[in-house]
């Protein structure tokens, strides 16, 4: 079995919300590269996605530094306002309509949200300035 890497406590992701983290993932040379991810929650279900819009690869929270619309319970790309389902990562409005965010399998282990099977660098990236971007919930 692969090692588990705990990202956060499950209780740190509020129901119907999204939280962003930056981990350090090994590239093809073995060097650590920042790897921004998003964790969303619906009830007792948690979903993980790479924080990269399939349209141009920009972070969902890069432009107005937000990626959540509380009224619609969707993830929003700050650059072109594409809308993604909170649980599937499927884009239903915007320039990448019909495409999906890259999913990340999450495992709940003793109250921790963990990933497995990802080749992470020794440093975890949590000391990067943008490890937990400000999440702004905005109405339409």
* CATH number, position 94: 2.102.10.10
Average pLDDT, the chain: 82
- Decide if 127 is inside a domain: no
User: Does residue 132 belong to any structural domain of this protein?
Assistant: no
Domain hosting 95: range is 4-116
Of the ranges 9-18, 51-60, 62-71, which one carries the lowest mean pLDDT score?
62-71
pLDDT at 119: 85
The pLDDT of residue 133 is 42
Structural domain total, the chain: 1
> Would you say residue 40 lies in a domain?
yes
Residue 65 located in a structural domain: yes
Q: Decide if pLDDT at 108 tops 60.
A: yes
Domain contains 47: yes
Is residue 101 a part of any domain in this protein?
yes
Residue 86 neighbours by CB under 8 Å, 6+ apart: 16, 18, 40, 42, 47, 73, 74, 75
pTM: 0.81
Q: For residues 128 and 103, what is the distance between their CA atoms, to the nearest angstrom?
A: 23
Q: Is residue 134 part of a domain?
A: no
Is 126 contained in some domain? no
pLDDT over threshold 60, residue 38: yes
């Amino acid at each position: 079995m692969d090692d588990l890497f705990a990202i956060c406590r499950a209780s740190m992701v509020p129901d119907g919300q999204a939280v962003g983290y930056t981990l350090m993932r090994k590239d093809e040379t073995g060097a650590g590269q920042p790897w921004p991810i998003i964790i969303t929650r619906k009830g007792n279900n948690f979903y993980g996605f790479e924080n990269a819009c399939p349209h141009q690869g920009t972070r969902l929270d890069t432009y107005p530094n937000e990626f959540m619309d509380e009224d619609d319970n969707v993830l929003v790309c700050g650059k072109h306002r594409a809308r993604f389902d909170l649980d599937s990562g499927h884009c239903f409005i915007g320039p990448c309509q019909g495409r999906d965010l890259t999913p990340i399998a999450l495992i709940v282990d003793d109250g921790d949200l963990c990933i497995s099977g990802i080749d992470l660098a020794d440093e975890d990236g949590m000391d990067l300035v943008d490890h937990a971007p400000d999440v702004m919930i905005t109405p339409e």
